[in-house]
Amino acid sequence: MTGTTTPASLLRAQDGTAETEAETETGYPVPERPIMKFTWHTGAWFDVFELHTALIKSDLARAQAEGRVVVYLSCPISSRGGGYFATNVDIANHTARRLTEQWGERFFFLNPAAYQLESRQGTGLITRHIAALQDKYPGLTLEQLLAQTHPTGGDYMRMWSRVLIEDDYLADSARRDLKLGGAFDAYYFLGPTDAREFFSLRSGGESLTDRMEGYFARRYATDPQFYLDFATVDDGTGGRRPLDPSQPQDAVVYEARRRKFLVYYGTRVSTAFSLGAHDEWNIHHRLNQARRGDPAYGVGEEMAGFFDGRPFSLAETEQQTLPGYEVLDTTARAVLDGATAPVLAHAEVAWPYGTLPELVLPREPLESTAQATR
């Protein structure tokens, strides 16, 4: 593993060792199954994610004990490319409920959106984890933790890799702790049809445009954070000011944001545009390769895959995709197409929701690759 540190000391563990701001390390989340590397934060955030991993695994263990068919729901979460964090969470939650109704109670859909730390609900989970860490970090508060740094895509993918790979709690002793994702029977990758199902039930209107615009108008009027992100700009003093549609430049900013929202949810909303989901697709593929060669599994016990409501084709089951947050060595990266986007280490979303980039000119790029994260 490699580590990088910055000198600003913010937290101190019980043993007196200093925790430094933004200290990171790179490695395999599950060293015994070295299929994918990520970079994550050490220190207090590492321990928070350890507790969060244990919480998710306890839910999986309960589903296993109940004999349920376990499906991982891969979904986009970040505010990227016109998408909005809270809307993405709503779509993921709606999709999990809809699939449970359609597939039946014997299925358990593990929905990452339900465990996202950077949300209003997630704040309570972080506070709970911080309380459990007081012996190691006396006096640690949420404000101190956030002052140190925010979670990144690598932090989340380290956690989800452990959830998806580790299986030390399986009832089947022959498969227990093989680290082949034994808790999971299938992955379901959310697609545009799933999002349209959400809008069709949440808004009136004949067309998809009518439904998305109805949703946008309702959320704009009822959600203060949505309003702040879409209807205000930096006032130059560290605060926010409302956009004034009577001013041409403000009108351009508002319409550009609104158009990005409609473009994203009308054409792009999908795991195809999620960095984390790219890594999850590849985890699914690599675990299936490992299962194929393990006598406890074999080809008949590979995990099924679904995208946008349909099963993977024969070709899709054998294909990887470009990496998301995965850290590749020089040789591996050289094999990829030169047009591959760089692996990004920035946070999935800002706290508590992603803040859309400011727009100045109508033809200025709305969002650069360097700004995007999950």
Q: What pLDDT score was predicted for residue 204?
A: 60
**Tell me, what's the pLDDT at 357?**
40
Residues 125, 179 share a domain: yes
46 shares its domain with 87: yes
147, part of any domain = yes
Same domain, 256 and 152: no
Give the pLDDT score at 71.
Answer: 99
Check whether residue 30 and residue 174 sit in a common domain: yes
Asked if the structure places residue 348 within a domain, the reply is no
Q: Is residue 362 part of a domain?
A: no
Asked if 128 and 246 sit in the same domain, the reply is: no
The per-residue pLDDT for 78 is: 85
Residue 171 lies in a domain: yes
Residue at 240 is within a domain? yes
On whether both 243 and 278 belong to a single domain, the answer is no
Together in a domain, 237 and 277: no
| Same structural domain, 146 and 289 | yes
Domain identity same for 106 and 252: no
Residue 123: the pLDDT is 77
Residue ending a domain, choose from 270, 294, 327:
270
Does residue 73 form part of some domain?
yes
Last residue of a domain, one of 246, 270, 294: 270
HEC sequence for the chain: CEEECCCCEEEECCCCCEEECCCEEEECCCCCCCCCCEEEECCHHHHHHHHHHHHHHHHHHHHHHCCCEEEEEECCCCCCCCCCHHHHHHHHHHHHHHHHHHHCCCEEEECHHHHCCCCHHHHHHHHHHHHHCCCCCCCCCHHHHHHHCCCCHHHHHHHHHHHHHCCCCCCCCCCCCCCCCCCCCEEEECCHHHHHHHHHHHCCCCCHHHHHHHHHHHHHHHCHHHHHHHHEEECCCCCEEECCCCCHHHHHHHHHHHHHHHHHHHHHCCHHHCHHHHHHHHHHHHHHHHHHCCCCCCHHHCCEEEECCEECCCCHHHCCCCCCCCCCCHHHHHHCCCCCCCCCCCCCCCCCCCCCCCCCCCCCCCCCHHHCCC
225 and 83: one domain? no
Say yes or no: 92 and 120 in one domain: yes
Domain count, the chain: 2
Domain span at 190: 25-194+272-335
Could you tell me the mean pLDDT of each successive run of 10 residues in the chain, 374 residues long?
Answer: 38 47 90 97 97 96 95 93 90 96 97 84 84 96 91 95 97 95 98 92 76 92 92 92 94 94 92 94 97 95 96 92 91 54 40 37 36 44
What's the pLDDT score for residue 374?
Answer: 53
Q: Does residue 341 sit within a domain?
A: no
Instruction: Give the pLDDT score at 102.
Output: 96
Please report the pLDDT score of residue 116 as a whole number: 86
Specify whether 225 is located in the same domain as 325. Answer: no
Is position 104 within any domain? yes
Q: Choose one of 270, 289, 318: the last residue of a domain.
A: 270
